[in-house]
Structure 1
Amino acid sequence: MADTNLAVSQWSPEYVQELSPAAQKIALLYYLSYLCLGKFSKLERIVRSRAVETQTLFGSSDATLMKCVSTSDNLVNTLFPMLVTAVEKNKPTLAVKFLEKAQVWITDIINDVKEIVQRYDSHNTDVSSAASYVIQEKEETDKNNAKQDQELKENEEALGNMTQLWNDKTKEIVEIDKKISNKTKEIQDYVRSITETDGDLDIIAAFVQFIEPIRKRIYGLVKNPKQVAHMKALEAELNILIANKTDLKQKQEQDQLQIIDWQKKVARLRASFERKSIPDPIHLDEVQKSLSKIRGILGDVLNFWEDVDNRLESLKQKTAGEEFDTFKDNFIDSIQKAKEAWISFAVSCQQASVMFRLQTKDAYKFLEINPSSLSKEEWERTYKSVKKQLEKIDRPQQRVTSTVGPTHAAQPTQTSTVRPGLE
């Protein structure tokens, strides 16, 4: 017996139920990528571009699936009745003509679905390239961050070292001040010891700072050469301490100038150093997986139409051959059985079409928002909200396909699409 089965045996309404969460996930994953990469202008433009490409591709998918609905409806409501009439009237030539007309429709839709599948392949490559670019930018940015970190660290270390040198000199000056104080007291005590009989010198000795007039006064009154020599030795020691202090003060002033320069450098680096931490493009990777799933389902649609085309070709050859009389009763019975399956297929395609249409219309409105304009609180609130929606889709028991119509598409339902004739 000839194979006259025109039923859609390769199609399952469950495909539509798999399409819906995959398409919804893609929009949400783009949203998360948009939020995470939005503060990087080049990456934000790339994510936006890929999201718009997906939105456009979904629009084309909607149109293609509606064409599947229309073609299926034509088969059920136009071709099948005319085939039955031709077979019942024993007109195989007319039946072959109708089958050839159906093949023209199916070839047309095969080309459309094939083009969509190829566009998904190309688009998935684009998304993959975008993810690779993000990784490349992340690596380059991490290198720049490390370089800036190192430069800032070196400048801060230099500032710290210079500050430490300045502090060390301050400690030395404090120590020298103590020595100067002790040496001054030693001179004062010596002056008192050699001028005890001279009240005038005793008063002078209380204020010895070796100001030139006092110095001359003291040396003018001290006649003992040993005392003069000792005074000069003490004065020399004091002068060395004072010279050391002066030298340290001068060096400290130079250190202070360098400290100011290092402080400016560090402040400038800190002000210009915007740490850019680019996250891994994990959400774009997930977009690829969902796109691949949708592409696989549309690939099944393509395989289905190609299988139908092969069946029609086989049926056409048998109808034109000598076997026509032997299988025409089975032919009519097969057409009657195929109607319900084809109606179910059309409903599934229509539901998928509506799903794509809704995704195209509403799911990408987030692109109207500039993520870098969100406050930290708004960003976190938005991110958590999108994550919750994504987690809900990932829970099988909570998957809802209300946005694309009833889930029981396997039940035969009459479609409301236009039913063009054969001519």
Structure 2
Amino acid sequence: MANSTALALSDSSWSPDFIQELLPSAERTALLYHLSFLCLGGFPKLERKIREQAIETQMLFGTSKAVLLKCAGTSSNLVTSLFPILIKAVEKNKPRLAEVYLEKARTWINDIIRAVGLMCMKNKKRPEEKRKKHADNIKGLKDALEKLEVELKKNVSDMNEIEKRIERSTQELYYLIRNNQKYRYSIFWGLFSFTRPYNDDAIRAKQDELNRLVSEKNSLRNQGWNIKIKQTDLQLQMANSLIQLGVIPDPDHLKEVQKCLDQIRQILVELKEFWEKVGVMLETLKDKTFVGEELIEDLEDMKEEFLNSIEYAKQDWQRFGECCQRAQNIFSIQSRTAYKFLEVNPSSLSKDEWKKQYESIMAKLRKINPQGSSTAAITE
């Protein structure tokens, strides 16, 4: 039996040791947000978006900490209080009392399974809703921008055409003036203003035509300017939507931020997977806890087997609770102190202060690895 217990405890498919793998990522998340926040000091709108995302992530870690604490507390209560009473009831051949405490264990376990289930939904639903909302918004903006691009191309084409027409009309007007009997011999024919009224009907008509063309050109120029203003407005809206999705729309100047946000997004995906694994783990622990439930009806002959099943479950719950306790300690730090950098406006920093913070963040990031400083922090 001891060997089978060791085998069960070492089963990596459900072992809570995987919690340790996520913790350095939690520490790295805050540092990446800090780095992004620092690099966006000269971009107020982008800086605000990063701040909002960082606060939301901080709150997510805070909720995670609370659920992990609940898991750790329930595990401790099972191991130190309920299981000992259950074992005592079985040892004294009190099956009805054993059933009561076994049912109480079921209630406690189902309670934390529901809490973990809500965390899974929260990690999954929030990004999906946000992504859908902003994806729909981005699609609408792209369609509008494409339409404006078509309008702008037509505007440019019309402007080119009107320029050609103005040039032709100007040449034709000069031709008419040069060949007009009144002005043919005047050395000042080239200095005539197009607004001067001429008695010659052809010249006057051509001048009117030219004036209309110039007016049309000005109208087209204003139209082109308005299209560009609309484009700028939509591009800013697009940038805001992209920022909400964790995408920096200016990779040429903000590659560092883009890289940070990509990593943060992946870490948050890992956090969702983490809670899904905790959910599976709890269901497995639940099954192990109640594997001997049927044996209560026949305690006289199956007492030892039932007590062994509870002892194995007790050991597993103890390991699970210890890992949850260590994990919630790290998440507590992330939710409480790791985001204090949001209290300082990065644009207010001097060049020396900015450089010092940047180098400090990079040094901390380089130190983080699954076997590095974060692992040491977990085992304290």
Q: Which range, TM-score by smaller chain? A: 0.5 to 0.7
In the alignment, residue 280 of structure 2 is paired with which amino acid? N
Partners in 1 of 2:170 and 2:83 — Cα distance? 100
Partner of 1:316: 293
Could you tell me which residue of structure 2 aligns to residue 122 of structure 1?
Answer: 125
> Which of 168, 185, 193 does residue 250 from structure 1 map onto?
193
Matches for 1:43-192 after TM superposition, within 5 Å: 52-133=55-136, 135-136=138-139, 139-140=142-143, 142-143=145-146, 146=149, 150=153, 153=156, 157=160
Question: Could you tell me how far apart the structure 2 residues matched to 1:250 and 1:18 are?
Answer: 82
Q: Which of structures 1 and 2 has the bigger CA Rg?
A: 1
Distance 1:51-1:105 versus aligned 2 partners, 3 A rule:
same
Matches of 1:348 and 1:144, distance apart in 2:
56
Counterparts of 1:398 and 1:152, CA distance in 2 = 61
Shift of 1:348: 1.3
Residue in 2 that maps onto 1:354: 329
Q: Matched residues in 1 for 2:221 and 2:344: separation?
A: 38
How far apart are 1:19 and its partner, in Å? 2.5
CA gap 1:141/1:289 in 2 versus in 1, 3 angstroms = farther
| Alpha-carbon displacement from aligned partner over 1:59-107 (angstroms, at most 9, x marks no partner) | 2222111011001111221123323333443444433332222112112
Q: Deviations over 1:168-226 (max 9, x none)?
A: 79x99xxx8xxxxxxxxxxxxxxxxxxxxxxxxxxxxxxxxxxxxxxxxxxxxxxxxxx
Q: Which runs of 5+ in 2 are unaligned?
A: 197-206, 248-260
Task: Report the CA distance between 1:321 and its aligned residue.
Answer: 2.0
- 2:123 and 2:272 in contact (8 A); partners too: yes
1:270 Cα offset (Å): 11
286, 304, 320: which one pairs with 1:345?
320
1:132 aligns to what SS in structure 2?
helix
Letter in 1 for 2:377: G
Q: Give the aligned residue type for 2:146.
A: K
Tell me if the contact between 1:22 and 1:291 (Cα under 8 Å) persists in the aligned partners.
Answer: no
**Residues 31, 119 of structure 1: CA spacing in aligned structure 2 closer, same or farther, 3 A cutoff?**
farther
* SS of corresponding position for 1:240: coil
Contact 1:79 1:98 in 2 (8 A): yes
CA contact (8 A) 1:73 1:343 kept: yes
Structure-2 residue corresponding to 1:241:
185
In the TM superposition, residue 113 of structure 1 has moved relative to its aligned partner by 1.5
Which residue identity is paired with 2:323?
S
Q: 1:158 to 1:66 in 2, by over 3 A?
A: same
Deviation readout 1:319-340 (Å, 9 max, x if unpaired): x222x34443455455555555
Q: Using the TM superposition, name which of 258-267 and 326-335 deviates more.
A: 258-267
Q: Deviations over 1:40-61 (max 9, x none)?
A: 96x9888766655544333222
**Using a 3 Å threshold, how does the CA distance of structure 1 residues 31 and 124 change in structure 2: closer, same or farther?**
farther
C-alpha change, 1:237 and 1:29, in structure 2 (3 Å) is same
Give 1:401's match in structure 2, choosing from 366, 374, 378: 374
User: 2: distance between equivalents of 1:401 and 1:107?
Assistant: 31
Give the TM-score normalised by the residue count of structure 2. 0.62
Q: Distance in 2 between matches of 1:335 and 1:85?
A: 11
Classify the secondary structure of the residue corresponding to 1:250.
coil
Partner of 1:213: none
Distance 2:154 2:356 in 1: 36
Percent identical among aligned pairs is 27
Q: Evaluate the alpha carbon distance shift between residue 282 and residue 242 of structure 1 in structure 2; reply closer, same or farther with a 3 A threshold.
A: same
Which amino acid in the other structure matches residue 405 of structure 1? A
Cα distance in structure 2, aligned partners of 1:148 and 1:238:
46
C-alpha separation in 2, matches of 1:29 and 1:262: 48
User: What residue identity is the alignment partner of 1:401?
Assistant: S
State the secondary structure of the residue aligned to 2:194. Answer: helix
1: CA distance, partners of 2:168 / 2:160: 12
Over 3 Å counting, the alpha-carbon distance change for 1:346 and 1:49 in structure 2 is same
State the Cα distance separating 1:132 from its structure 2 match: 0.9
Residues 247-292 of structure 1, C-alpha deviation per residue, up to 9 Å, x if partnerless? Answer: x622388889959958984996699587436465564776664434
Aligned counterpart for 1:302 among listed residues 279, 290, 296? 279
Change in Cα spacing, 1:63 to 1:154, as seen in structure 2 (3 Å) is same
Structure 1 residues 238 and 249, CA, compared in 2 at 3 Å: closer, same or farther?
closer
- CA separation of 1:149 and 1:396: change in aligned 2, threshold 3 A: farther
Q: Paired residues, what number? A: 336
Distance 1:163-1:383 versus aligned 2 partners, 3 A rule: farther
Shift of 1:127: 3.2
How many angstroms apart in 2 are the aligned matches of 1:141 and 1:401? 47
